[in-house]
Amino acid sequence: MKRRKFDAAALPGKVGGALDDRFKLASPARKLMTKVFPDHWSFLLGEIALFSFIVLLLTGTFLALFFEPSMVEVHYEGSYLPLRGIEMSKAYESTLNISFDIRGGLVIRQMHHWGALLFVAAILVHMGRTFFSGAFRKPRETNWVIGAILFILAFFEGLLGYSIPDDGLSGTGLRIIHGITESIPLIGSWAAHALFGGEFPGEVIITRFYILHVLLVPGIMLALIAVHVGLVFAQKHSQWPGPGRTENNVVGYRMFPNYAAKQGGFFMLVFAVIAFMGGLFQINPLWLFGPYEASVVSSGSQPDFYVMFLDGLVRLFPNWELSGFGFILPAVFWPAVIGMGVAFTVPLLYPFIERRFTKDRAHHNLLERPRDNPTRTAVGAMFASIWLITTVTGANDIIADKFNISLNAMTWGGRIGIVVIPVLTFYITKRICLGLQQHDREVLAHGIETGIMRRDPDGRFYEIHQPLTDEVDEHGHPKVLEYNGWTVPKKMNRVGALKPGLRGFFKPIEIPGDSTDQSSLDSKDTREEIEAGKK
Amino acid sequence: MSAAQHDSSANEPVDVTDGKLSRFEIVKEGLRRDGIEILHYEPAFPVPGTKVEKRIERFIAFCFVVAGLGALGFVAVFAFWPWEYEYAEFGGAGSMSKWYTPMLGLTLALGLGGLGIGILTWAKKLLPVEELVQERHDGGSNEEDRVITGAVVGNMVEETGIKRRPMLKRALLFGAAPLGLAAIAPLGTLIVPPGDDLVTTGFNPRNNDGQPVGLMLKDGTRVRPDMISVGGQITAFPAIPDGSTNKHADSPVLLIHLRDEDAKKARENAYEMYEGAQWNNYIAYSKICTHVGCPASLYEQQTNRLLCPCHQSQFLITDNAKPVFGPATRHLPQLPIDVDEDGFFYAVSDFLVPIGPAFWERG
């Protein structure tokens, strides 16, 4: 039989046809590929989180091949000399082996840790973008809630992850987790015993945390991330206001090839940054901490940055212990359990809290600039300030040491700060928002400040403004333009009257305008003197 | 703009199979059918083959070559670079293996980064510049659909007859609810009664056949008074099997040799229950912070304060180790100590109050 000639050019069509015969893909595939996405740099933040999550799955799988989540005592005989002959758990030993005795283990371990930090950081910034632009409003509340749950899961996933190597630092963290669990009223000691399988530290906690860390929590997260991203597709991405953009359309470019190429490239870049950090920046050098011993701690015991707000809150809270009728409500219950609960549930429920006050039940596909919702922006800034104070307090012993400040002064500064600064932040942020709004409207009404001063014959000075429109009202004044929710040009070069300012980091990549070359400033044959805006 | 959109969508669908349309016209027809309108579309380089275009092409090709070299480098480093860890006191000077991890990171970053920057440049500089507008159709289904789906659901409930058959409803509830309980019951295995775990430590005489428990160092050496200089301190453990391991994580004590005047002060200040708990100038406090359980072990000799490095609680050792700063509420429990006829320290009894962080039933 004669062999049929292979036609490479017809192959994609043939495969496409075969797939369509079976799955009826032509229409849905086309719709997916030509789906329009709006573009703005701030929409990329969530992607950083998504990409770091993928890197975490990859590196985590490698680590799981070599990590032994066991608290069985062993003698260390690996290549790190200072710890040779020391008794330690198998978990710590296998982590040391990953770092020293497994080819490429250290770079993967460090990439996993840096990836985790980047993951949580990206989630926080992404949440901030969503919050301050009002993207969580109807119809996207569900996705906000899913995102907030993902943050909570990421927080605990990280906590579980840095607890399982069973080194000196992670054991101290476990001890604190134990102490906090014990502080829960009524069930505290039973809950702590259930968690640790008996007295602290017991012999099961690492094994338990491990299975939560590698199976349960990431499994739930994977499912929620799929829903999270799926809902963005189904509901279509929100967009910033701008020319031609309405509540009922999406302005942007197509999923393929533009968006997909940018996403693919960006994924590689995020991966590259994590690889670079994993290779060159040391993180969690746990061979220096030694195995966990209940009697040993070092100064400067800090958790990862996203847990530091909680640690800071615990440091700041006064020693107000309630007792009576033979029972105790430990002081640490308030900052650690209630504080954490509030920190997690208030953001989770924020869309519904805001709606209670605004009674806003409309669909919103256009985002709001932070200045256009001063109260929300101020509330957000207030929470950010609380987070910042508590996070800094989480490292107040380091700051006290490095800057030679009294430790007690740092604590008192934090205690006073956490009461005063949020209030100030709220007020100042709100005033700044209102001021920015006012200035936008001023420019829309009177034009851009040109910096050209004029003196009237009667001696008065005034600045000439360049109106943004040629249209005039019945009095001959420039028409007051309506604010459309987007950037108002405030510099003359923004409206093309001057050459753009210098850009570039090492050298200007645009040539500065030549003040003597008047022809470049105006396309018209003769330049007219700026007269408008004159009273 | 929206008027134009309406005009075009009012048009009859174009026949895309008649072979007269160019490929891009078919693409445009597809977009139109999906409610997408092209606002702006132009090739990045209307005149092909300009100098700028060539330069960008060269740059992208360079990025991809760098990516390939980086990836090959990664594989080469992974396989051939000496990687076995060599310990050296001062950072392993002269050893190649200390560069193994940085080289891996660097080459991998080059491989991935080159590919990433190449693709991004391609997308940003070479793909056509486009702006499209697509209609949204949110805000729920139309009224008809809602009515129909509502009827379907209502009918479904009706068909089961659950409303007309209250006995079945109750029986189902009785049948299903216990299954829920059964599902969570296995979690009950996790419950371990605390018993007296939280109020006893390794210093309890029951760990030593009813005899008082001695104090020992980490390595098992029994502690004698002359082992601690004046103003010094050591960490001591119950002298029982595994006494210094994490099996007795609640037991470590800080044994301090106070200066004469400090010892006098401590004795004067002692709470009633701690009278006689001190042995001469020696005093032993639980190391486990009463806040959340870190070892409170930073001893400041000059101020006689013990600092917990986790949350900065500070305890005054000349006054029952009561908290003087920070979030801790309770004093560090004191271990009553004495010296036996062989000259070794021992605990007269277990701690008189539960050590470590507070809990509900501690009272």
**A208 Cβ under 8 Å from any chain B Cβ:** no
Q: What's the CATH superfamily of B205-347?
A: Rieske [2Fe-2S] iron-sulphur domain (2.102.10.10)
Q: Is the pLDDT of residue A271 over 80?
A: yes
Distance CA A99, CA A312 (A): 31
A-B contacts at Cβ under 8 angstroms: 294
| Contact criterion met (CB < 8 Å) for A314 and B358 | no
Distance CA B332, CA A204 (A): 28
Residues A46-82: tens digit of each pLDDT: 999 999 999 999 999 999 999 999 999 999 999 898 9
Please, what is the Cα angle at B11 between B8 and B15, to 5 degrees?
Answer: 115
Q: Which of B116, B297, B362 sits opposite A266 (nearest CB)?
A: B116
What ipTM, to 2 d.p.?
A: 0.92
Distance CA A382, CA B258 (A): 48
| Contact criterion met (CB < 8 Å) for B309 and A301 | yes
* Contact of B301 with B318, CB cutoff 8 Å: no
| Contact criterion met (CB < 8 Å) for B118 and A317 | no
* All structural domains of chain A: 35-306 (1.20.810.10)
The per-residue pLDDT string of chain B (363 residues; one tens digit each, 9 = 90 and over) reads: 344 444 444 456 788 888 888 999 999 999 999 999 999 999 999 898 899 999 999 999 999 999 999 999 999 999 999 888 887 765 554 578 889 999 999 999 999 999 999 999 999 999 999 999 999 988 788 999 999 999 999 999 999 988 888 899 899 999 999 998 999 999 999 999 998 888 999 999 999 999 999 999 999 999 999 999 998 999 999 999 999 999 999 999 999 999 999 999 999 999 999 998 999 999 999 999 999 999 988 888 888 999 999 999 999 999 999 999 999 999 999 999 999 999 999 999 999 999 999 999 887
Concatenating the DSSP letter of every residue in B138-162 gives -S---HHHHHHHHHHHHHHHHHHTT
| Contact criterion met (CB < 8 Å) for A271 and B327 | no
| Contact criterion met (CB < 8 Å) for A183 and B135 | no
Concatenating the DSSP letter of every residue in B169-188 gives HHHHHHHHHHHHHHHHGGGG
Instruction: Give residue A502's pLDDT.
Output: 62
Distance CA A239, CA A245 (A): 8
Name the token pair of A84: 């040779």
Question: Is-cis flag, bond preceding A185, omega within 30?
Answer: no
| In chain B, residues 98-127 whose CB comes closer than 8 Å to chain A | 101-106, 108-113, 115-120, 122-124, 127
Distance CA A68, CA A95 (A): 8
| Contact criterion met (CB < 8 Å) for A79 and B84 | yes
Q: Is the pLDDT of residue A423 over 90?
A: yes
Please state the rounded mean pLDDT for residues A256-260.
92
Name the residue ranges covered by the structural domains of chain B.
51-86+93-127, 205-347
pTM of the model: 0.92
Chain B residues closer than 8 Å to A182 by CB? 198, 357-359
| In chain A, residues 447-476 whose CB comes closer than 8 Å to chain B | none
Q: Which of B118, B134, B252 sits opposite A36 (nearest CB)?
A: B134
Q: Compute how many other C-beta atoms are within 10 angstroms of the C-beta atom of residue B169.
A: 14
| Contact criterion met (CB < 8 Å) for A182 and B358 | yes
SS3 of A122, please? helix
Concatenating the DSSP letter of every residue in A383-399 gives HHHHHHHHHHHTTHHHH
**B41 Cβ under 8 Å from any chain A Cβ:** no
Name the token pair of B148: 């129909």
Name the token pair of B193: 């009664």
* Contact of A39 with A84, CB cutoff 8 Å: no
| Distance of residue A469 Cα from the nearest chain B Cα, in angstroms | 21
Q: Is A505 exposed, middle or buried (0-12, 13-18, 19+ CB in 10 A)?
A: exposed
Of the ranges A310-324, A340-354, A511-525, which one carries the lowest mean pLDDT score?
A: A511-525
| Distance of residue B295 Cα from the nearest chain A Cα, in angstroms | 6
**A251 Cβ under 8 Å from any chain B Cβ:** yes
Q: Which of B30, B136, B327 sits opposite A332 (nearest CB)?
A: B327
Q: Is A112 exposed, middle or buried (0-12, 13-18, 19+ CB in 10 A)?
A: buried
Residues A474-492: tens digit of each pLDDT: 887 888 888 989 889 888 7
Please state the rounded mean pLDDT for residues A406-413.
93
| Contact criterion met (CB < 8 Å) for B295 and A296 | yes
Chain B residues closer than 8 Å to A331 by CB? 291, 327, 329, 358
Instruction: Give residue B2's pLDDT.
Output: 41
User: How confident is residue A520, by pLDDT bands cut at 50, 70 and 90?
Assistant: very low
* Contact of A366 with A239, CB cutoff 8 Å: yes
Instruction: Give residue A473's pLDDT.
Output: 82
Instruction: Give residue A534's pLDDT.
Output: 44
| Contact criterion met (CB < 8 Å) for A257 and B363 | no
| Distance of residue B106 Cα from the nearest chain A Cα, in angstroms | 6
Q: Compute how many other C-beta atoms are within 10 angstroms of the C-beta atom of residue B41.
A: 13
**A188 Cβ under 8 Å from any chain B Cβ:** yes
| Contact criterion met (CB < 8 Å) for B246 and A292 | yes
Residues A148-189: tens digit of each pLDDT: 999 999 999 999 999 999 999 999 999 999 999 999 999 999
Q: Which of A193, A279, A363 sits opposite B106 (nearest CB)?
A: A279
Q: Is the pLDDT of residue A456 over 70?
A: yes
Q: Which of A178, A194, A235 sits opposite B138 (nearest CB)?
A: A235
Q: Which of A107, A262, A272 sits opposite B104 (nearest CB)?
A: A107
Instruction: Give residue A22's pLDDT.
Output: 95
Distance CA A464, CA A486 (A): 24
Please state the rounded mean pLDDT for residues A223-236.
96
Bridge partners of B347?
Answer: B337
User: How confident is residue A507, by pLDDT bands cut at 50, 70 and 90?
Assistant: low
Q: Which residue of B has its CA nearest to A173?
A: B294
Q: Quick one: what percent of chain A has pLDDT higher than 70?
A: 92
Q: How many residues make up chain A in this entry? A: 535
| Contact criterion met (CB < 8 Å) for A365 and B194 | no
Q: Is the pLDDT of residue A533 over 50?
A: no
| Distance of residue B12 Cα from the nearest chain A Cα, in angstroms | 19
Instruction: Give residue A514's pLDDT.
Output: 53
* Contact of A117 with A57, CB cutoff 8 Å: no
**B6 Cβ under 8 Å from any chain A Cβ:** no
Residues 6+ apart with CB under 8 A from A446: A465, A467, A478, A533
| Contact criterion met (CB < 8 Å) for B109 and A275 | yes
